[in-house]
Amino acid sequence: MSSITVCLKKSVMPDHNHQQNGETSPDQPSDERFGLSRREFMRLASLSAAGVFTGSMMAGCGELWERQDVIPVESWHQGVCRFCGTGCGIQIGMADGKVVDVKGDPAAHNRGRLCIKGILNREILYVEDRLLYPMIRKNGEMERVSWDEAMDLIASRFNQSITENGPDSVAYFGSGQLFTEESYSANKLFKAGIGTNNVDGNPRLCMASAAVGYTTVFGKDEPMGCYEDTDHADCFFITGSNMADCHPIVWERVLDRKRARPDTYIIVVDPRKTNTAKRADLHLQIRPGTDVALYNSMIYEFFRRGTIDQEMVDDYLRFQHGSDTITIEQFRSNLENYSPEQAASICGISAEQIRQAAFRFGDSDASMSFWTMGLNQQTQGTASNQLVMAMHLLTGQIGRPGATPFSLTGQPNAGGGVRDTGSLAHALPNGRAVTNPQHRREMEELWNVPEGTISPNRGHDAMSLFQAMGRGDVNCTLIMSTNPMQSLPNILPYREAMEQTFVVVADAFHPTETTKYADVILPAAMWVEKSGVFSQSERRYHYVPKLVEPRGEARSDFDILIDLADRLGHSDLFPNRTQADIWDEWRKISAHSDYNFEGITYERLQNQPGLLWPCPDEDHPGTCRRYLPGEDPMATEENVRHDFYGRPDGRPIIFMHEQEPAFEPTDDEYPLTLTTGRVLEHWHTETMTRRVKELQGVRTDFLEVHPADARIYNLVEGDAVRVISRRGEADFTARITDNIREGLIFATFHSAKHLINKVTSDAVDPLSRQPDYKRCAVKIEKV
């Protein structure tokens, strides 16, 4: 396959910044002669692949570069990026039956832009270590077998466990990277066929707190706004999100707004001075896990400054502490503990910064919040989500262009594929809950199964599932399109649990840290080797076409699930046996809910870059903003400002919260705090990106250490350093930087060789059951 080399043609433009000396040192890539770091050049090259440049992107280059085709392409096809939840529209170039080029779709929300990972979609099908045929562990070694032998063994072991130990002895662990048709089918098989709610997946690790936040506040999951809101906001409140590295195309749209309207104000809340924070007008570099104190203090300021929207309070909101209804006076009384001075001492920032943030947010014509893992992956992740939503509701910064709380997703289909389909241990499709008898009966009727088929008990969530495997309560587990033996926190005991469980892994790659522990591995088709629907952060469903045949003997995860259903005796559950027919089944089921997207057909998706739900019929254009009469087709109340139809009384809930102490405070033995995250060029556990040769030189083995801490531990740049917690240890290379707070260290979770999840804690948020990857007590030592 082709390399990442991009042919760039210079356009006429004054050269103000070009260095006079064009030579580079032997250890520098040639792009540094333009005054750019390697990462900056890669970012620019990826964005230029769409022929798109803006003023900030040209800084330091001195010339405008235009993309030139260098690979002959026979045909172009509309598609969607395989990576993050931004869901960028792409055009896929084909030649000789292979993907040979990818470029951004100018008709899509990303305006033709792609990041470096987006461009490298063209490489991922053809990298080394693709799993090409089924394998079974025999005498401790993986051996190639036929599909029939593999599936017979899987069905035999699952049936045996169900017969001897009941349906809750088996489980499914899925992914926000499967197509919606695949996650929907897995959920249906296990809950309506086998009869267990042991259905969960990696979205529990990244999005659960946001989902619970939206559901508990508004009664329905998923953001109410859309990417278009970015074009109207006057203030951006970006908290727990390094958008510049993790959602770079959405970040570029934020910068578009800043360029078009320079007095647009950007606030970033992050313990690190990230690439996002460096562009902020105000950076609140708080201590990890102190978000509740910060948001309480900002709300305190809203009341003090008189920026509370009294109409919202009187006509649209109610207040709760836990499950107890409280008055607004009780809510305000709690805020007296969070004056800016009090909160500043908790958060480690100044009181003036808090006041400034509150003023900018509350006084703006339109404030838009973005957040992701930094907010969600905390033991108070749900509380933090609820309070950000409260900030919008109390100030009326909601339900108009540019004013919305917007949670960014990390995977290409965690929203539509998992949250909307109810493919989690507590959920049923379209916002239903397994513990609600009416919801269970509705789905039993829609799925045409007898009353009482769906279990009334919550299944095992992600962490609980692997703990149950360790206890022997779950004997068989099917894992699809994810790598939990690297991505779970406190990984070591869960690897032991895998060794005593019959584990089936369907993946496109082998080896991974998870396939190493499997009893059976099944080769899965990926991306355009199959067809289906993704849904990204703004509720946009979009279609991925099948363009190439799967490698080797690989099959789609959908075909694997249908085969398993047949062998387990649940053929009748799947009268629809193609992805297209399953999609039609699913969209018709959605019509029985407020998530209605019955009008989003394959035909419509194949002819435009996606549609936003609700979209109840085939003539509907899709919905940018929910809960607005006249715009949201589900909002039927007349003569009202908002119709919050997810709540029986039409009133979203403002929750009162206290800042809790760290679940694992630092002490003399473990005096530092560890937080984790990502880099621009790699994604998740590097299962795909580490195998792309153009990205293999991008290091993820570093540990960020503040210079003051480096002095204490006698560390210099490049030293080998070991991170140690009460659970485990991992080795890294020291990166000394003041981009991080003193007393805090940072590592990515990308590298399997330098596995930080041996160190992290598996403490979870009590409501969302999402683990806290952002704060645990550690020590370091020079190796």
Distance CA 553, CA 208 (A): 35
Beta strands 540-544 and 611-612, pairing class: antiparallel
Distance CA 661, CA 346 (A): 10
Q: Are 502 and 519 in contact (CB under 8 A)?
A: yes
Q: At what angle do helices 180-188 and 579-590 cross, to 10 degrees?
A: 70
Distance CA 590, CA 332 (A): 40
Distance CA 588, CA 597 (A): 8
Q: Are 771 and 202 in contact (CB under 8 A)?
A: no
Which 8-state DSSP code applies to residue 543? Answer: E
Buried b (16+ CB within 10 A) or exposed e, 184-222: bbbbbbbbbbbbbbbbbbbbbbbbbbbbbbbbbbbbbbb
Integer angstrom CA distances of residue 284 from 50, 208, 240, 404:
34, 25, 11, 21
Q: Any idea what the Cα angle at residue 212 is, between residues 428 and 666, rounded to 5°?
A: 135
Phi/psi for 229 (5° steps) reads: -60, -30
Q: Are 434 and 428 in contact (CB under 8 A)?
A: yes
Integer angstrom CA distances of residue 663 from 337, 694, 706:
21, 40, 23
Distance CA 435, CA 458 (A): 7
E strands present in 434-592: 476-480, 502-507, 520-523, 532-535, 540-544
Active site residues per annotation: 117, 206-207, 373, 410-411
Distance CA 756, CA 700 (A): 11
What count of other Cβ atoms lies within 10 Å of the Cβ of residue 133? 17
Phi-psi region at 772: left, alpha or beta (left = phi > 0; alpha = psi -120 to 50)? beta
Integer angstrom CA distances of residue 304 from 336, 349, 658:
11, 20, 19
Give the tokens for residue 445: 């009727």
